[in-house]
Structure 1
């Protein structure tokens, strides 16, 4: 049985700036829990024992979090600081910590994929590599794969447009003796399983830097079989942009990613942390998640689809809906926040409007009467 998982958690999360200027993407909260905690909990649930975490960008914050949250669990976690060029290079640089067959997970995805079933499939199938595949509405932002009737991956396309996907699929179907799946939009989920032998291949071929772009095509060209495992009915979202960050938070509120769920005690469709104070006249419209030490003044309306992080105060007559407040923030009176993301340590003064896909970075002060949005991005320069 495979007991080792490698988590890739070193990326800069540039598409989520300004949120990631001060917080590494794996520590951004979804449902008031860091993304990487959801993945670690999933690995623990499915019986993995050793987790090797590749850290690089803002590594100290990730390591401090692991020590504070996970050191007293029965998981063996090691988190070496490395400086990889890409995903495969990260695994190459972690090879001294891997002593058996293993799976690879992303540290910036929310999913409920059954990772034990995936690992068992890989062992039973006997291929050098396996990829967990997901079906997506469009392949524009994903690495696409063609799979034959036996579940073996036949060809890779890196973020193809519609015409490229169609022409390639038809060509392989006409030239091949194997039936190719032409109808499902099967994409690379970023979750892999490998025999230990892959580490020798990576060491002997230092030019192989990225799994999707380099390693898997190289394996096919050199006669290795790659198994595709279809993660049917699994929830999966890449938390790589503000829109998908919001979506992941709201989907967790709706229960789409069970057994993953928001932090706190479930009460009437909401999730409440400790020491939540709802003053007289405050209104909660489910679904809502409130972290620890959240204080909501009278006349405020929170929800639907609001996630408010710990140590946050929300003043009278303020409305928060379809938004995420990451935490340690003060929002004063008669403020409207909708369809937006606020980071930490923010002060929003009275009579302010923040709306429609706005993102506010750490430590910002929004002055009284400001109107931000649609699409406003406000942050303190990191230079």
Structure 2
């Protein structure tokens, strides 16, 4: 395909810091593989041969080791590190790799699980010669009602997205926090698209096809930091605006002679199309809309379209709730996400005592030891975990190097790596942070047991 993939893997997981304070979101285990492995497999499945991966400096070496040595990915990965201390948004990161990008681009997040054939999105992008095409999905809604382990949090704010009559072109985009009692539209928008539908049940999946000129625009307009929150709404708004006349900042010397001219350009200068292409399109009988006699694309150079994936699988793992639920579902989803890879449900090096029961939908990682009379149902057990005797684990995610002592009962919980759960503990709908030690006979419900200085951001 003609797009250069860029994987955003530098996010700090602000909605799930109980799990990501010491582990990058990209490496959180999803089944028996790191989260970032799944979008990489999607690119491999679609025939891509290379991709840029943007990671934080502090985790760059670890991410590279996991992907290249342990996961053995086939696609060529160009790892680009960005500083930890400065807050960089996704637009800042894309701006940083501008010189590496020579074509139109595919930007995707490391936390996206989807079986979408990318040509479906690319067909929309090509058909309308779009500046940006956004992947949207209503499938995430089913996860919004799933209770998350730990302290109860507020519902994630919705996006309001307005479409034209055909349901492809995005005419309006705003987050719930920015919405007012009334919504204002440009007259030019309503004149060209009198039939407008606003939907509030769609999730922006953070997968975008973009023209190369959009990256060039970002390089000049450094005030834009986020793709989803700032760039996409800005492009949507600019579709029906009029280009500004170029302004010149002229600097004179003492004799009033011109010594420099700085031409200020707006977004339309970057979006300018080849004149021959415009002429050829004007001679075509194809129209991208109906209901009036305007020319193709309504004469605009900036166009934002959306593709709604209302089939198959499409989930962003960006909250504790979606992370816990996706892990429970990954044994069922795995063949959709990686059809050429056979999932090893119980690793050959795992040992399970005869009187223990492990459900057929459970995953036991490398080096796991399961004691006598243990029951594991609908759960994921990471690498090198030790499970004592008479332990019950249900609907839970247990990360690597965890020790669960005898007669514990773990329900609907996420246990961080290297944690130690002492004898006769009961945990229901809890989060246990990395390396935490739970005292014997402790009973906890809906609690986040983490370091105080690393509390979850709500």
TM-score by length of 1: 0.88
- Show the counterpart of 2:104: 101
Following superposition, the deviation at residue 380 of structure 1 comes to 7.9
Following superposition, the deviation at residue 66 of structure 1 comes to 2.9
TM alignment of 1:201-280, pairs within 5 A: 201-223=217-239, 224-255=302-333, 258-260=336-338, 265=343, 271-280=345-354
Aligned 8 A contact 2:161 2:198 in 1? no
1: CA distance, partners of 2:200 / 2:315: 18
Correspondence 1:306 to 2:382? no
- Show the counterpart of 2:55: 55
Following superposition, the deviation at residue 140 of structure 1 comes to 5.0
Please point out which of 440, 443, 454 is paired with 1:368.
440
Correspondence 1:36 to 2:114? no
Larger Rg: 2
2: CA distance, partners of 1:342 / 1:73: 28
* Structure 1 unaligned spans of 5+: none
**Change beyond 3 A, Cα 1:165–1:183:** farther
Correspondence 1:331 to 2:409? no
2: CA distance, partners of 1:167 / 1:234: 35
Is the deviation greater in 315-324 or in 117-126? 117-126
Aligned 8 A contact 1:4 1:49 in 2? no
Correspondence 1:64 to 2:65? yes
1: CA distance, partners of 2:224 / 2:43: 27
**Change beyond 3 A, Cα 1:209–1:175:** same
Is the deviation greater in 40-49 or in 238-247? 238-247
1: CA distance, partners of 2:454 / 2:216: 41
1: CA distance, partners of 2:73 / 2:52: 15
TM-score by length of 2: 0.74
Following superposition, the deviation at residue 381 of structure 1 comes to 5.8
Output one character per residue of 1:168-198: Cα deviation in whole Å (capped at 9) or x when no partner: 49999x9554322345723321110011111
Following superposition, the deviation at residue 94 of structure 1 comes to 1.0
1: CA distance, partners of 2:407 / 2:184: 56
**Change beyond 3 A, Cα 1:188–1:374:** closer
Is the deviation greater in 240-249 or in 57-66? 57-66
**Change beyond 3 A, Cα 1:220–1:367:** closer
Output one character per residue of 1:230-280: Cα deviation in whole Å (capped at 9) or x when no partner: 11214232322222211111122333882348x9746xxxx2223121111
- Show the counterpart of 2:420: 347
1: CA distance, partners of 2:441 / 2:181: 52
Output one character per residue of 1:312-331: Cα deviation in whole Å (capped at 9) or x when no partner: 11111100001000111111
- Show the counterpart of 2:90: 87
Aligned 8 A contact 1:157 1:165 in 2? no
Output one character per residue of 1:55-75: Cα deviation in whole Å (capped at 9) or x when no partner: 1263332233233246x6441
Is the deviation greater in 85-94 or in 209-218? 209-218
Output one character per residue of 1:61-110: Cα deviation in whole Å (capped at 9) or x when no partner: 2233233246x644121111124621111111111221111110001232
* Structure 2 unaligned spans of 5+: 145-154, 240-301
**Change beyond 3 A, Cα 1:65–1:154:** same
Aligned 8 A contact 1:362 1:380 in 2? no
Aligned 8 A contact 2:158 2:201 in 1? no
Is the deviation greater in 123-132 or in 37-46? 123-132
**Change beyond 3 A, Cα 1:73–1:300:** closer
1: CA distance, partners of 2:440 / 2:133: 55
SS in 1 for 2:373: coil
Equivalent pairs counted in the alignment come to 372
1: CA distance, partners of 2:318 / 2:18: 12
Kindly report the root-mean-square deviation, in angstroms, between the aligned alpha carbons of the 2 structures: 2.8
